[in-house]
Amino acid sequence: MCGIAGIIDQNRPEENIHLMKEMISAIRHRGPDEFGIYNDDHACLGHARLSIIDLNTGDQPIHNEDKTLWIIYNGEVFNYPELRKELIKKGHHFATTSDTEVILHGYEEYGAEILSRLNGQFAFAIWDKSSRELFIARDRLGIRPLFYFYDQQRFIFASEIKAIFQDHRITPAINPFALSQIFTFWTTLYPDTIFKNIRELPPAHYLILKDGNIQIQRYWELSFPPADDYEDKPFSYWSENFTELLVDASLIRLRADVPVGAYLSGGLDSSVISAIIMNYTNNPMKTFSISFEEQSFDESRYQIAVSNHLGTDHRDQPISNRSVAENFPQTIWFTEKPILRTAPVPLMLLSDLVRRNNFKVVLTGEGADEFLGGYNIFKENIIRHFWHKYPNSPRRPLLLQKLYPYLSVSSPQIRRFTEQFFAYKLGEINHPAYSHLVRWRNYEQFSKFFSPDFTAQCDGYEPVDDFLEHIPERFEKWSPLSKAQYIEISLFMSGYLLSSQGDRMAMANSVEGRFPFLDHRLVEFCSKIPPKYKLRRMNEKYILKKTMRHLLPPEVSQRSKQPYRAPVAKCFYSADNSNYVEQIFKSNGSELYFQPNILNRFLEKWKRAEGNLASERDNMIFIGLLSTLLVHEMFITKRFQPVKNKIIENFKLVQH
């Protein structure tokens, strides 16, 4: 992967070069290998390169034959060799062997239609010098980020927001609507970001800027068949086609001029990807994982079992509670927004392990849970429908035990809490977001912390209503599982999983993640698979388990889904970290968002419990409050800068 940035501002061509150096320096972690700038009287484009394909001639920005088109690009297009051959037959001449130049000539040949031909993960910008037109685009599922600022005078874009803030004419401020969204959905709603006036280009969209006017267009959309209109084909049909697509999606993601490794969590998804590589290629495989000091989070025995079974060269990164707390501020610097759990921290430390082993690329299992019905939220949806239909059924406790095998549901306290949890708005089965209502109620607790001034800024804003205004018209015809999948994919996966836990944590250490389950061909196929083959009698990812079980040891292929979790509030309770937490909670900026008396009471509650907050909700509140205040200290007041990048001097400058 790489980092990209651009400035469209005809009033400051010379000043733009200096600003661009600062912008690229701020995101040099995304691409520490080479740095390049293009500049003319209207546009300045910058690039920080992580060299993976065409190590010798792939430096950017790259131009077409007559130097009228210039591209900067963050991503990988895995079908670029096939597209390159097609374009050569049409008369295009290539100066490099990179996938970047394939996109450029593809755009020259097909315009925006090239996006439908790309199989990959990308964010790129093309500047047409002749027409003074900017074209920027993002991949179908939002694997790679792209943000922008526009005030009718200048248009500034970048892979990360911190690069845009290098323009000191832009004043950072928290967007109250976006904070409400994060406290509801764990992420913002496109195009909002946590900062006012900073926007995020939505996945599967492109933007054209010409003559001061912006046009934004969707080029792909996730969809499902109507509930009563799935193809009536045997399981063997779905299994065989699924296998063929997944194997090909995995193999083309090995295309690189550097070694490719894999994450191995011990769960089904990453294990399947590693197994495919080991069984369908002759490539030796190095795998990487994390193990936890706390046994309740640790899955190392499954990681070792899979590694031994497949014969991979395995590396492990131990995670202590102390390391989670110590690295949390740096994690927020890279996420650039508040988060509600600490799970990204170990993943940042894992990418550091990868980089220390001289790897730049890893394959991972993201996407399988979303597209194949792997999360508990999909099972909870089934149970809530059952509870509504059969309010007196004696099977209720049995369903809870099956859903949460890792919890002691027989405990009266846990059972009482779980029953209250499931009873929330139980009768609203016609609500479009019925599957997620119980999870989204966390916002009710967060909003109690808001200061009167901040509440007034929210002006009665309802995040759920905002989201529901933008769901597709055909949504109501989908099955309950498909509806839940759409919500999970368009919110949690795109805005949180692939961002805060994905791109940002890997790129913090200059590591590129690749995701076979998110190949758009496989995604479109999985959307057509009947729900009964995804979630079968509370057995999640049924088709994946049944189809791939011969490749894995039984203790992994047959195990129930264990959510990836990391230590939360209690890991911050120590002699060193308690002081730092208290300083953040009592910082001058806290009263801008929260009521000091309520914030202090919650802090005292955490201290009395020695960090051991009893409920999951309290732990989420703790992390949400702490990360919000860290965002304020890092990006608003800039009093706290956990990462300081020096200005890069060795730029390759192309100036016209």
Active site residues per annotation: 2
- Which residue intervals of 294-367 are DSSP H helices? 300-310, 321-335, 344-356
Compute the distance between CA of residue 124 and CA of residue 147 in angstroms, rounded to an integer. 11
Number of residues that this document lists for the chain = 656
Nearest to residue 620, comparing CAs of 205, 182, 291? 182
Compute the distance between CA of residue 41 and CA of residue 55 in angstroms, rounded to an integer. 30
With beta carbons less than 8 A apart as the criterion, state whether 635 and 195 touch: yes
Buried b (16+ CB within 10 A) or exposed e, 132-158: bbbbbbbbbbbbbbbbbbbeeebbbbb
Nearest to residue 340, comparing CAs of 497, 537, 117? 497
Torsion angle (degrees, nearest 10) of CA 541, 546, 549, 555: 60
Q: Which residues contact 34 (CB under 8 A, 6 or more apart)?
A: 47, 48, 49, 51, 59, 60, 652
Kindly report the CA angle at 308 between 302 and 309, in degrees rounded to 5?
90
> What does DSSP assign to residue 489?
I
With beta carbons less than 8 A apart as the criterion, state whether 9 and 487 touch: no
> What does DSSP assign to residue 516?
G
| Whole-Å CA distances, 73 to 218, 641, 648 | 19, 28, 19
Nearest to residue 438, comparing CAs of 367, 500, 387, 490? 387
Nearest to residue 644, comparing CAs of 22, 170, 46, 169? 22
Compute the distance between CA of residue 68 and CA of residue 29 in angstroms, rounded to an integer. 30
The three-state secondary structure class of 641 is: coil
